[in-house]
Structure 1
Amino acid sequence: MNLLEQVVARAKTDKQRIVLPEAEEERTLRAADKVLADDIADLILIGNPANIDKKAGEWGLKNIGKATIVDPLNCAKSEEYAALLAELRKNKGMTLEQARELVTKNNLYLGCMIIKTGDADGQISGALSTTGDTLRPALQIIKCAPGITCVSGAMLLITDRKEYGEDGIVVMGDVAVTPNPTAEQLAQIAYTTAQTAKSVAGFKDVRVAMLSFSTKGSAKDAIDKATGKSVYIIDKVLEGTRLAQEQYPDLQVDGELQADAALVPSVGATKAPGSHIAGKANVLIVPNLEVGNIGYKLVQRLGGVTAIGPILQGIARPVNDLSRGCSVEDIYYMVAITACQAQDAKAQG
């Protein structure tokens, strides 16, 4: 089985309840039908039930009846959700009336409230919504996982070059959310990306490389004389590595490493002799979003690598974002990925 087939198989072993708040959108509804047909997850579809039924009939979708359909304008728990949301956001000045408005007219907020009250395990949106729209209710309602303050996004990179990463699979973070993480945030990104590598990619032995343009002191940061601060990024990566090793003692992590030193055994042995990660890394942590976004798109377009994601991480229960150009297949597999993350989140407590 390839990686995506393995993810689907893992999702099936312990079905999770996944919310699709954009259920009246065609790609989403078609993907839901396929998910339900393949018995990958229990789905909660948010939308007008009559519209969903009509569209399912028009498009020949036979399995939508297996889903739970929640009508935001006629939801039995609307008042419960509104009261809890108002309580969660009272320090920000939210009134009960404002909370009622959100849970009845904003499906993304309603979906997160369903998760918050334990009635669902994860959510996927983005076919119609921006990343900001997806993240805002998740951070306001579900919040970050314990000990985590930084949400990030990981990309699964799959190549036919089996000698790299884990049999040709590499997980890279952050490629989606935090533009210029601090050293403390880099340490958290290393940890949460390692968790994604376990829960989604199925890695048993996670080996994290903290990337830079230097390997073990081969270059030094310049110092701005006016501020006394490093001009470049090596020192940040070094401090992030130290914090990751200190805060997550079970995490196998090393840095700073150049990308070739992290991935190629011969280069790693030459540039970083004695490193337990160099040449063997299967998780790559980049120093900023600029590097991550450019890097994964270059290997995707020029190197023929399959890129899956971004997979959001660091939230207490998984909430994932889709591209507005996503396909039915993208949504289908993201349901399976979100289910695997939900399994892991429950195991972590």
Structure 2
Amino acid sequence: MSEILYLTSMEPRSGKSAVALGLLDLLAADVRRLAVFRPVVPDHGQPDPIVELARSRYQLDLPEPDAVAFTYSSAAELIESGGPERLISAVVEHVARLRERYDFVLCVGTDFTGPSPAVELDLNAELAANLGAPVLQVLSGHGRTADAVTTALREGRTVLREHGCEVLATIVNRAGPEHTGLACDDPPVYVLPDLPVLAALTVAEVVAALDGTLLSGDGPALQREVDSYLAGSAYLQTVLPLLKDGMLLVSSGDRIDLAVGVAAAAVSPELPTPAGIVLTVGHVPDQQSLALLEPSGLPVIAVKADTYTTLHQLEGLTGQLRADSARKVAAALGAFADHVDTETLRKRIQLSKPDVVTPLMFSAQLIAHARADKRTIVLPEGEEERILLATEELTHRGVADLVLLGDRDVIAAKATQLGTDLSGVRIIDPLRSPLRSQFAKTYAELRAHRGVTPEMAYDIVGDVSYFGTMLVHAGEVDGMVSGAAHTTAHTIRPALEVIRTLPDVSLVSSAFLMCLPTKVLVFADCAVVPDPDAAQLADIAICAAETAVAFGVEPQVAMVSYSTGGSGSGVDVDKVRAATSLVAERRPDLPLAGPIQYDAAVDPAVGAAKLPGNPVAGHATVLVFPDLNTGNTTYKAVQRAASAIAVGPVLQGLRRPVNDLSRGCTVADIVNTVAITAVQAQQGAR
């Protein structure tokens, strides 16, 4: 495997950060210990955005001083005292130390914003050559003809090759329709579209850039992009017609009438939703006025400068790609995945399949697996804020096609308030959908033995959980994810009534994907079945093995008990012994051990001592617990003691996938659960 890659742009504002993010996502799926490195950064005294993005999003164990070698000024001093060779030597030594501690180092070149940008391409080429790093070249298509881009591409490659660099590929970023014909194979050229959202300032960046004070509004509202500015210098009736979605009002702090009017627009479905309000000249409204602004949720910022100066400051600023800007991150990753042949690039970097799987690698592989064969997933809780934020990320990244359930107007209003883009997402209101009558007829037929009449069924399928389940049953969608605002019973009961279990499975159970520091294990059942009998335990084991296969884990099944082999007896261990026999009879192809104690299942030395000759002992990847008490306690103990990430519960045994969220779930949890459901749907289709 290559241990290093050098990413360099050809000019400023090429969108190098977005490309770096795409590369980090690609590398995260295959590299256990990953580092990002900047040889020279600007002298702004702030943490480097690319380094901070990598450290935050990918939880890199990488101190800031290790990730950056020099600022422009310190690099200039070094060159002045010892020539360019001294700078290059210092960078090479710095990277050599990183390579001793990390499996792969992504070097991200200079920003071409230093005192001598004309010589920076030569500097980056020299650094790449002396590091022995293959180069990925980035240039901008913004404002250039296709011929001009082709010329710049060739000139850049010539410079790189003259310095002895190997060019792996070229990415033309910020491209328009006229650049689509630039793609080629050797070395490949990939063309990424211009995404204005990446250059837009977020409200949080406005606060920082203006050194402002946030008076009200926080959370997702601060990460909304600012699309345009409006100077508040007229009466409210003149200003309101000029208001647009995403617009930032900049007005004198004593014009509280404008601020209150614009805040009212934010909660009106008839008016555009602004991004926020900046109050200038250092005037802070009194508490009564602030109380009028707070219900809108709009960020309100106070600054000391006057309105003209504030607008002038904002004019020259562009936004940056930061870890907390979920919309930008999702858009950048989606564009990279859609327009770069990541498998070809992976081969050119010579990434090999790793021997270990970290939680980060598992998450990256999960998303890639879901994208490879996109499925349609319904989210019944379409009016929930976290669901909307996750929907935007999932859509931008191309993880799944999504259907939201709920009142269209409510969803649209909340999406506008959050600044989320729901284009391409299907929205269905169960209470008004023409499918409701069809689903009611089907549900009444399915539940007639329980006394359900067509009239009762019509009311029942108006519920979002039942309507979503009927969409799955009818094949309109491939799976369902719910539970962010509903109980587990509300999610599972419709599935048990309508979708039902697979023909050879007697019950629905659950599994957790336990992401340990170097591997992924499957634990079952830890969430659903309180005390399974032997036949049910066998079902759980077989389903858990199939869950493991779906997520790339080679199943080696351990039937866990307090006794190993034939050393113990009693009702509980006899149940596990009987279940083990049933699994062996039904699935003789599965590597199997049981009854077996937990330590003998996962520790090779203990396994060899307690169950010699059994290939599963000490190497189990699927651990099946005798009851819910044992399973739930064990998964939580391992989660805490081993700093494991528990993904799930994943429901198993249903004809089509339905998964339950915790009501305390995060946006990231929703994204992962949708990806899991999509992968289950792929497996079911096969």
User: Partner of 1:128 in structure 2?
Assistant: 485
Q: How does 1:305-320 map to 2 (within 5 A)?
A: 305-320=644-659
Structure 1: stretches of 5+ with no match in the other structure: 163-167, 222-229
- Letter of the 2:446 partner, please give it: L
**2:129 matched residue in structure 1:** none
Mapping 1:1-349, distance limit 5 Å:
1=29, 2-62=361-421, 64-104=422-462, 106-160=463-517, 162=518, 168-200=519-551, 202-203=552-553, 205-221=554-570, 230=571, 233-347=572-686
Equivalent-residue separation in structure 2 for 1:111 and 1:56 (angstroms):
21
For the residue of structure 1 that corresponds to 2:576, the secondary structure is: helix
Query: What is the distance in 2 between the residues matched to 1:218 and 1:158?
Result: 31
- Deviates most, 299-308 or 286-295: 299-308
Q: How many residues align?
A: 327
Task: Report which of the two structures shows the higher radius of gyration computed on alpha carbons.
Answer: 2
Provide the rounded CA distance (Å) in 2 between the counterparts of 1:103 and 1:152.
24
- Classify the secondary structure of the residue corresponding to 1:51: helix
Identity level (%) = 45
Q: Distance in 2 between matches of 1:248 and 1:33?
A: 41
Give the CA deviation at 1:74: 1.4
1:291-347 deviation line (CA, Å, top 9, x unaligned): 111111111122211111111111110100011110011001100000000101111
The one-letter amino acid paired with 1:286 is: F
Q: Distance in 2 between matches of 1:21 and 1:242?
A: 41
What is the Cα-based RMSD across aligned positions, in Å? 0.9
Q: What amino acid is aligned across from residue 337 of structure 1 in structure 2?
A: I
> Tell me, what secondary structure is at the counterpart of 1:284?
strand
Give the residue type in structure 2 aligned to 1:343. Q
Q: Aligned to 1:175, what secondary structure does the other structure show? A: coil
Shift of 1:251: 2.0
Q: CA deviation at 1:275?
A: 1.1
**1:80 alignment partner AA:** Q
CA drift of 1:218 comes to 2.1
Q: In 1, distance between residues paired with 2:445 and 2:645?
A: 43
The alpha carbon displacement at 1:189 in A equals 0.5
Structure 2: give runs of 5+ residues left out of the alignment.
1-28, 30-360
Return the alpha-carbon distance in structure 2 between the equivalents of residues 132 and 77 of structure 1: 24
Instruction: Report the alpha carbon displacement of residue 65 of structure 1 after superposing the two structures with TM.
Output: 2.0
* SS of equivalent to 1:74: coil
Amino acid at match of 1:59: L
- Name the SS for the 1:44 alignment partner: strand
TM-score, L = length of structure 1: 0.92
In 1, Cα distance between equivalents of 2:515 and 2:654 = 25
SS for the counterpart of 1:80 is helix
Deviations 1:184-240 (A, max 9, x none): 01100001111111112x12x31000000111122222xxxxxxxx3xx10000000
The alignment partner of 1:65 has SS state of coil
Which residue is equivalent to 2:146?
A: none
Q: Secondary structure at the match of 1:61?
A: coil
Specify the code of the residue in structure 1 equivalent to 2:520.
I
Code of the residue aligned with 1:89 in structure 2: it is R
Q: Distance in 2 between matches of 1:65 and 1:92?
A: 41
Aligned to 1:225: none
| RCO comparison, higher one (Cα < 8 Å, 6+) | 1
Q: Give structure 1 regions of 4+ aligned residues with deviation exceeding 6 angstroms.
A: none
- How far apart are 1:112 and its partner, in Å? 0.8
How far apart, CA to CA, are the structure 1 residues paired with 2:425 and 2:631?
Answer: 37
TM-score for the superposition, normalised by structure 2: 0.47
- Counterpart CA distance in 1 for 2:532 and 2:512 is 17
